[in-house]
Structure 1
Amino acid sequence: MRKIVLVLVGCLALVGCSGTWEAEIRLKVTKIDEDDAVPSYLPPRVRVWLDPVGELPESAYDRQNFTGTAVEPAEIDGDVKVGDEVTCLAKQRSIGILQTNSIQTELFQCRKA
């Protein structure tokens, strides 16, 4: 019985280790591209590609996950072009060790710096 309890506690520790990190970060627009929509009747999808400027806080879960992040232009307050800098609220969620992509990164409330 004790072995079963120890195994269950170990499994819960591996799966349940999750948390959230949130901070405002500065990013640079590296590319703006337009993907042709698969069905021709849909408008093309525009993406703004961002890379971090400077160092991210030490508390960030996955510091490399911010390189090559893309958002839609509607998510940025103001018009941007390649070379512009924006500030965004970044949120990372750790969803457990056993997941294949255990850290999810999202950008919110972006605005031209």
Structure 2
Amino acid sequence: MKRSPLLSGLTYSTVVTLVGTLLASLLMLATDLSESSWLRTTLFIHGLSLLIGGFVTGKRCESRGWYHGGLLGLVYTLIVWMIGFLAYDSGLTQELLILSGIVLVMGALGGMIGVNVKK
């Protein structure tokens, strides 16, 4: 049974996000890092996770990697927004718009790389 490229990329992105968030939290707990650097750290973790997820999506779909990776970024952004809205009653913020731009670009880039990697 062949899994959907988008679902595979979303799974990888979620795992990388969870592991990255856990490591960043442990690092902040163990050191004197301030919470003001948390936004940059969060954006880096999301960008890296979408680059990896886009790569997986592009490799599995074998064509139009930018499209599938960008679609992955869009779905990921909607999931992050829904979690923020339902759990914290947060609306559309500037940080979410920045995150949206980063994940769309990183997902598309990962998809392009994934399509062009030799098997």
Q: TM-score of the superposition, structure 1-length normalised?
A: 0.23
Larger Rg: 1
